[in-house]
Amino acid sequence: MDIAPTSTPSAATSPTQAQGARSALSSDFETFLKMLTVQMQNQDPLNPIESSDFAVQLATFSGVEQQVRTNDLLEGLTRSLGSSAIARFADWVGKDVRGGGAAYFDGAPITVATPRIPAADQAELVVRDQSGRAVDRRPIDPDGGDVVWDGLSVTGQPFLAGFYTFAVEGRAGDTFLGERSGEIRGTVREARIGEDGRAELVLKDGSTVVPDRVTSLRLAGS
């Protein structure tokens, strides 16, 4: 089954937003100059405004303008780096990847690669829904390995379609030894630039996974 990261990354500034910021800044800068001119024309000749005050106002606004331009340059650099990453992951298309994240359940069983927790003599697969709530628990081999989750409740009813994450809890007797994440396999359909400017892999069901969360890569179906 396919993988998707559970968290959401912050969105990068879009070209439309950047263009709007530049247009607004240009308009405000012209307005500032007009106001400055009117201020100079109508100042009290007996108590004129210090020229240093005008210089401070102009320098402050120029600083804001420079910051916007710097942000535009950084945005372009981020996109350029993201494009290079696409080429690096292009040969992953059509291959199976394994990594942490959420799998999309649509009624078909999901194979989960479970880790071994050292010293554990008991282990339990914990299944959580998109809200993080544990919806299913099943005893598994504490030595780890592939486990098939059929997506059926104790009454035999299938869980709702959606994204689910998997973890393994280990115990030695009554002592809780901790929890480790399970991993899911999926076939890569596309490599692209995400909204945050980073490369991401699109899997065959439309889910996405960030390349740095992938721990295994192999030929599809092998």
Q: Residue 127 belongs to a domain with what CATH number?
A: 2.60.40.4070
- Of 54, 89, 124, which closes a domain? 89
**220 lies in some domain:** no
Give yes or no: residues 113 and 178 share one domain: yes
**200 lies in some domain:** no
| Domain carrying residue 83 | 15-89
Q: Determine which of 6-10, 24-28, 30-34, 68-72 has the lowest per-residue pLDDT on average.
A: 6-10
Tell me the CA distances in angstroms from 202 to 4, 60, 71, one per residue in order.
9, 45, 29
194: Cβ contacts below 8 Å, ≥ 6 apart? 9, 200, 208
User: What is d(CA 213, CA 83) in angstroms, rounded to the nearest whole number?
Assistant: 19
| Burial (Cβ within 10 Å: 0-12, 13-18, ≥19) of residue 128 | middle
Mean pLDDT over all residues of the chain?
77
User: What is d(CA 181, CA 99) in angstroms, rounded to the nearest whole number?
Assistant: 10
Q: In terms of pLDDT, which residue wins out, 32 or 169?
A: 169
Give yes or no: residues 107 and 180 share one domain: yes
For helices 15-41 and 51-89, the axis angle rounded to 10 degrees is: 170
**50 lies in some domain:** yes
Q: What's the mean pLDDT in 86-107?
A: 84
Report pLDDT for 70: 73
User: What is d(CA 204, CA 94) in angstroms, rounded to the nearest whole number?
Assistant: 9
Tell me the CA distances in angstroms from 22 to 15, 17, 158, one per residue in order.
11, 9, 52
Q: Determine which of 104-113, 189-198, 202-211 has the lowest per-residue pLDDT on average.
A: 202-211
- Of 29, 62, 89, which closes a domain? 89
Count the domains in the chain.
2
Its pTM surpasses 0.85: no
- Of 89, 123, 139, which closes a domain? 89
Give yes or no: residues 23 and 80 share one domain: yes
Report pLDDT for 42: 74
User: What is d(CA 28, CA 37) in angstroms, rounded to the nearest whole number?
Assistant: 14
Report pLDDT for 2: 45
